[in-house]
Structure 1
Amino acid sequence: MYSYLSLALMIYILGVLGSRGSAQDVSKLSLKYYDKSCPNAQQLVRTEMECAVRENPRNAALMLRLHFHDCFVQGCDGSVLLDDTETLVGEKKASQNLNSLIGFDLVDRIKNQLEGECPGVVSCADLLAIAARDAVILVGGPYWDVPVGRQDSKTANLEKANTDIPAPTQNLFALVTNFLGKGLSVQDMVALVGSHTIGMARCVNFRERIYGDFRATSDSDLNSMAYLSKLQSLCPERGHDNKLSPMDYVSPNMFDNIFYRSLLNGKGLLNSDQEMYSSFTGIETAKLVKTYAADPLAFFKHFSDAMVKMGNITNPEGGEVRKNCRFVNT
């Protein structure tokens, strides 16, 4: 018990220090920010997202992931969307982004619609925040109001992208510390990780798990062993790094609480996910996993609240409204 309390205290201290180092200014965000300058902005985003998700339900997860990876580096400022140039190094080649983040063409499509309606008005950062909300709704998830008025960063930060975005092999200590450093609580973390209910993972990110402690955490029944066998067939010990598997193998295209039930059964695909329930230090996180597995409404409420909180992490340096989400204005 002493070691757990010491660990929890250390996490708390690190979290406080981290949150002090990332100033948040949400004074300019408002639900009515575009009411006069671009009143159809949210409807334009929604229409494009409806088409995209109808074409391929996976587009919902792609947009949600882009918003998450954007907010964890410099705040929600569209920096994740910047391409490399002679004078700027973007974040797309970061370890957690390379060969993982896609959906940039969809962002371009939505941005073109917004620029056609209201040139130079709606930021790429706001586009991601609105599109992520709509993505969740379109696959059965909850609604939340999205405050808008974010500015697009004129810079990117590859170093922070490599260190600040949670990794799938992280242990619980590192994961909680990471979220606390962004001003997000343990409850926020467990709820936000629920977005994996519509996510896909690459073989390279779950190989260690399926050839490691998967058997130790899961039931030894035929169903569990058949699932493990399927995963190992898809993802051998060497090669096929980019093969994909859903993190919710029961209902991968529906935003629901089945993901948490898989953690209760020890079948989480990623080590970082299963740690929330199986780690001996995860007393609080395990309780939350149990709550969300039993009560989808509680999950939806906490997820919505956490998405607003995460979306309110802005870049204190400010920026601009990019005309093209891939490049700063000239």
Structure 2
Amino acid sequence: MRDMNVVVFGATGFIGSHLVARLVQEGVAVTVATRRALHAQHLVFLPRVTIVEADIHDDAALARLVAGCDAAINLVGVLHSRRGTPYGPEFKRAHVDLPRRIVDACARAGVARYLHMSALGAAVDGPSMYQRSKAAGEEAARAHPEVAATIFRPSVVFGPGDSFLNMFARLQSMLPFMPLACADADFQPVYVGDVADAFVHALRDPKTRHQVFQLGGPQIYSLAELVRLAGHYSGHVRPVFGLPAALGRLQAMLFEILPGTPMMTRDNLDSMKVDNVIDPAIQETTAVALGIKPTALEAVAPRYLSTLDRLDQFRARAGR
């Protein structure tokens, strides 16, 4: 893999930041495409990383970004969108139109490899707009057979900087108890380092071309169990109360009309109608098949959710 050139879309986010660092360790030259260079300032000092400001939804910009690359990696995803059929406009733009544009650009430029981030539960008939748009994105990823796509479907991803366990830890630091919709929904959380390793292994191994890999951790938890663990590890143990379906939906509707990014939407609840776990019948297409031993949540989460560790992280970012 050394001396390989890769362009990464969505590199400045939680998963992308970990993946770029992992690629650099392997000697890969990484182009980070971002709307604003300021968003990538935490990556600028990594060796062999080039930050390029670009509108990734512009075909001409995409052509310039993929030119001369050995592979393109797309991690771009959004959790919320206005409503629509079969999915809303923000989901269409990020999950369907963008991968189609990237793969088209790769085909024109002769880039033979494309790695695509999807999601566990992606299905054309899924109960949520998010799941349906992710399935359509997978079809877009396969639009050009000459561009060999590898698709990854992770469950919820945890690790330092995540927006899942950290969110529930923060909420429990402020609230006397946790009212929780879909408390019984099951998840199979996967460590961000294992996700990054899966992408690296796929780049290295030509046998992963045209394959779909489901990524999950070694254990399945209900949402209520994960929220309790977040409270426990962060030192803010709170009672967790499951909400009836109608009340949970009302709660999500209220979140949707509040200013800012909603914490929960009705579409998020729709996604949780299907358990977010790996089908045990298809173990041959999981991280284990890539030689990765899944990392237990209990081995990592206590370190970054603890109050002391978060203070240490703040001091490190401040250079203290």
Fold equivalence (TM over 0.5): no
Q: Which has the higher strand share?
A: 2
The answer to which structure, 1 or 2, has the higher relative contact order (CA under 8 A, 6+ apart) is 1
Q: TM-score, normalised by structure 2?
A: 0.28
Q: TM-score, normalised by structure 1?
A: 0.28
